Amino acid sequence: MTAHPCERREALLELAGVDALLGDRLVLRGVDAAIRNIVRPDVAGQGQVVGVLGPSGAGKTTLLRILAGLAAPSRGRVLLDGAPVRAGRVGVVYQRCPLFEHRTVLGNLVAAGRSAERAHALLERFGLAARADAWPRELSGGERQRVAILQQLLCGHTFLLMDEPFSSLDPIHKAKVCELIVEVSRLSERNTIVVVTHDIPEAVKVCDTLWLLGRERAPSGEPLPGSRITESYDLIARELAWHEGIERTPRFTDFVREVGDRFAGL
């Protein structure tokens, strides 16, 4: 198994020296990272999927809000396509996947994109055509999530944040969500999905890059205030990205164990 050829080009998202305070508590400290446009000669529309992994309390939700433009860093900057990120430019799919309960699935999508034709086309493409007239209360957790993602696509977002997309899902629905993330990322070369999660195996299955968020430690062993990206893993270079069935290989198992060991020490 070899790495697929690709080229990382211009930065689509940049974080530089990002700090975040909650009250007087430093939650994020000096976060530096970039997501670059990935171009593959063998795939016409390869997008980017970046996983943000970290234990509870590491500041994942705070980072998500800053990336979405819903909160400002106390120091540093976040640029999306070279401009400061602002609310409305980024699509967010929350863990609870809020939908309009008084509208059908199709009604929810039309409200987001105002195009019934495009809504029908997306429902067909993503295996939800039979649920077009269903009410949100009739959907499974996985189905709600798919509808919420399609809402963001119909809003015109190419940059999507997903908050704990694998939480409370059984293995079958986790697999369906993984398939959906990969397919959405390949709708366009500039489609970029950031998956915020603590589920290491699922993140490795769908991502091309992983950011490990956590607190570093002083020489004495005490954790330093504020989390930062302590490790960035290039899954393309590690020959883990874009390989069907990679989760059944020793390479995958070994890497998940490696990340889990680092995770436990954060």
Over the stretch 106-146, which tens digit does the pLDDT of each residue have?
Answer: 999 999 887 899 999 999 988 899 999 999 999 988 888 88
Look up the domain containing 117 and give its range. Answer: 95-156
In the chain, % helix, strand, coil (3-state, to 5) comes to: 35, 30, 40
pLDDT at 136: 93
Q: Looking at the structure, tell me whether residues 229 and 165 fall in a common domain.
A: yes
Look at residues 47, 33, 112 and name the one whose alpha carbon lies nearest to residue 76: 33
Q: Looking at the structure, tell me whether residues 150 and 205 fall in a common domain.
A: no
Neighbours of 46 (CB within 10 A): 21
The whole model's pTM is what?
A: 0.92
Output the CA torsion 157→159→164→167 (10° steps).
Answer: 50
Find the CATH number of the domain harbouring 227. 3.40.50.300
- Copy the structure tokens of residue 149: 């993602």
Any domain includes 112: yes
The answer to whether 266 and 54 are in contact (CB under 8 A) is: yes
Question: How many separate domains does the chain show?
Answer: 2
pLDDT at 98: 83
Last residue of a domain, one of 156, 175, 195: 156
